[in-house]
Structure 1
Amino acid sequence: MARRRQIYEGKAKILYEGPEPGTLIQYFKDDATAFNAQKKGTISGKGVLNNRISEHIFTLLGLIGVPTHFIRRLNMREQLIRQVEIIPIEVVVRNVAAGSISTRLGIEEGTQLPRTIIEYYYKDDALGDPMITDEHIAAFGWAGQEEMHDIADLAIRVNDFLCGLFAGIGIRLIDFKLEFGRVWDNDYPRIILADEISPDGCRLWDMQTNEKLDKDRFRRDLGGEVEAYQEVARRLGLLPEGADGAVLDLEKHRLSKGK
């Protein structure tokens, strides 16, 4: 596909104008960042794996009625998506204490939380994505009350589904990040799931060993980042056993509909 005009470049993805009005092409990079981009690096093949994993999860979510921006995967690194007006809020869903909540509240990592917790963060790299409350969101008009109800409901639905999906392949879903956007249907705004769901934005621990199968391997200098992402893809049935990570030729092995 011929390269189109670049619309936006983030830490892990690039957005290009799509082939039709209201669409974009989402390109997955190998770049890795942590701690609000204070730490930077590259995980070879990460973009290919995240593209495939996110496609798989978004497709499954669509089948259970969760509205998403995903249309179809175009190739190893690109997806066709709906253009949305991004809500400037990162939604973090926590099932088990890890990362910042352990630091803030002094809870030992790995502690099962008494209930699922949803946290909101304002999307602003310059400010370090500060935590915010519903009051901030309402006061500054980032999203309406009905929209926030929809966001919370969708976040819980996604969490319930993902917990079951990952438990079925021996993975504990510790926490994960979601982003949402608005689409307009006959002048009426509707909230849909956007961005991606992959080991970049999820904490995924092996149920037996607690081995980390996510970007914490990069954040904490544990090594084995590519192998961890590959393991998630293998367990999801997206990468054959023994596949060579240097090539990651998922085009030959993909299980998706279409091409």
Structure 2
Amino acid sequence: MKPLKNFTNSLKSDPNEFWATVKYLGDCLGYAKRGNILVHSEKDIINQLHKAKLPINSNTITELQLYFKLRKDALETASNHLMNLEQAKTLFYELKSDPALATIVNDIPFPKNKQKGEKRAYAYFTGIINMLTAYSIISKDVNRLTNINYDPRNLATYTTHEKLVFTSSRRFDGAIPAISNPKLVWEIKEYYYTTSFGSRIADGVYETQLDGFELKNLRKSQNITIQHVFLVDAYDTWWNQGKPYLCRIFDTLNQGLVDEVIFGDEVLTEWPKIIQNVI
């Protein structure tokens, strides 16, 4: 999923005010109800703003309603791509046995999840991403396989003119070509085994927003662009339990804090395009 084309640039209202209002209304009126993502009515928006003694601008109201409708439609479409555990597992093993990866499959890391007992298994979505990353690179140039950091153990840094101008607050889940002066960084959130939408999952969304603010500031202050991609999966966790956080992810994307969000099996078509464009 990419940001809504030209939406922010076409705003007649102030973008800072618009996004602050989106967040405020989400907090006060909610993001989802009875399993449905909400599209707030003009009446509800005006009443809430009036109650808080906030300015009411007709252009902003129109833009908010359009945005809420576009958000609902986009996320409902994206939900069709989210996989459950068995679907992710099946796809993982299909890719792992693909003859195209036969010569390098032993060099691709396949981390395990953090579960215990019989739930202990491969982190299927991460493994899928790692395989597609390697495959996308060897399809262009096998010699570039070394230009992947599948699991950075350090903070991202950027150096220019022999000066360190950026250090991230958090570690990313992957980087190309390296975690030092990366062109691309990514974050993965797969939650197949969760039975409830907990604070740890919610924190993952906020952490991505923090990363996005830092990278956006780097772009503005130093004119350095690092592509930032967010990959999520687990149908039950995100769609059945976490719709409010899907809305926040969509807002994060359209605020320019993430360049692209990939949902579940979208990774098969969208991730190779991103990799091949950046190498």
**Same fold at TM > 0.5:** no
> Which structure has greater strand proportion?
1
Which structure has more relative contact order (CA 8 Å, sep 6+)? It is 2
- In the superposition, the TM-score normalised over structure 1's length comes to 0.29
> Which structure has greater helix proportion?
2
Larger radius of gyration: 2
